[in-house]
Amino acid sequence: MKPGRRRLIQLYSALLYNAHLKGFISGDIFKGAGKAICVPGFNCYSCPGAVGSCPLGALQNALAASNSRTPTFVIGIILLYGLIFGRTVCGYFCPAGLVQELLHKIPTPKLKKSRITEILCAFKYVLLLVLVLAVPLWYGFQYLPVPAFCKYFCPVGTFEGAVGLLSNPANEGLFSMLGLLFTRKFVILLLITGLCIFAYRAFCRFFCPLGAIYGLFARVNVVGVKLNRSTCIDCGRCVSVCQMDIRHVGDHECIHCGQCIDSCPVNAISFKAGNITLRQNECEQTAESRGKEKKTAALAWSLALLVLAVVLVLSNI
Q: Which of residues 142-181 bind another protein (CB under 8 A)?
A: 142, 144, 146-148, 150-152, 154, 157-158, 161-162, 165, 169, 172, 174-181
**CB 278 to another protein: min, Å:** 18
User: Residue 19 CB, nearest distance to another protein (Å)?
Assistant: 15
Q: Which is nearer to another protein, 12 or 34 (CB)?
A: 34
Using the rule CB under 8 A, is 282 a contact of another protein? no
Residue 129 has a CB neighbour count (10 Å cut-off) of 13
Q: Which is nearer to another protein, 80 or 305 (CB)?
A: 80
Closest separation in Å from C-beta 286 to another protein: 25
Told to check if 286 binds another protein by CB under 8 A, we report no
**Distance between CA atoms of 91 and 240, rounded to whole angstroms?**
18
8 A C-beta contact, residue 144 and residue 67: no
Q: Report the alpha-carbon distance of residue 13 to residue 73 in Å, rounded.
A: 23
Residues numbered 34 to 63 that lie near another protein (CB under 8 A) are: 35-36, 38, 44-46, 50, 52-53, 57-58, 61-62
Tell me, by CB under 8 A, how many residues bind another protein: 110
Stretch that binds another protein, among 9-17, 237-245, 282-290, 292-300 (CB under 8 A): 237-245
Does 260 participate in binding another protein (rule CB under 8 A)? Answer: no
Helix ranges (H only) for 163-262 are 164-166, 180-198, 202, 209-215, 237-241
In the complex, what is the shortest distance from the CB of residue 99 to another protein, in angstroms, rounded to a whole number?
15
- For 41-53, b/e burial (b = at least 16 CB within 10 A) is bbbbbebbbbbbb
- If the CB atoms of residues 241 and 298 are measured against another protein, the closer one turns out to be 241
Residue 279 CB coordination number (10 Å): 20
Q: Considering only 1-9, 85-93, 206-214, 241-249, which stretch makes contact with another protein by CB under 8 A?
A: 241-249
199 in contact with another protein (CB under 8 A): no
Ramachandran class of 236: left when φ > 0, alpha when ψ lies in -120 to 50, beta otherwise: left
Per rule CB under 8 A, is residue 264 in the interface with another protein? Answer: no
Q: Is 235 in the site for another protein (CB under 8 A)?
A: yes
Subset of 79-98 contacting another protein (CB under 8 A): 79-80, 82-83
Is residue 16 part of the contact set for another protein (CB under 8 A)?
no
Cβ atoms within 10 Å of 166's Cβ, excluding its own: 16
Tell me the closest approach of the beta carbon of residue 70 to another protein, in angstroms.
7
**Cα three-residue angle 154-158-159, rounded to 5 degrees:** 115
Q: Let me know if 287 is exposed, middle or buried by CB neighbors in 10 A (0-12, 13-18, 19+).
A: exposed
Contact pick of 25, 26, 67, 184 for another protein (by CB under 8 A): 184
CB-based burial label for 245 (10 Å; 0-12, 13-18, 19+)? buried
Left (φ > 0), alpha (ψ -120 to 50) or beta: where does 27 sit?
left
Among 15, 21, 120, 312, indicate the residue that binds another protein (CB under 8 A). 120
74 forms part of the interface with another protein (CB under 8 A): yes
Which DSSP string do the residues of 26-57 spell out, in sequence order? H-----SGGGGSBPSS---TTSTT--SB-HHH
Closest approach of another protein to the CB of residue 143, in Å: 10
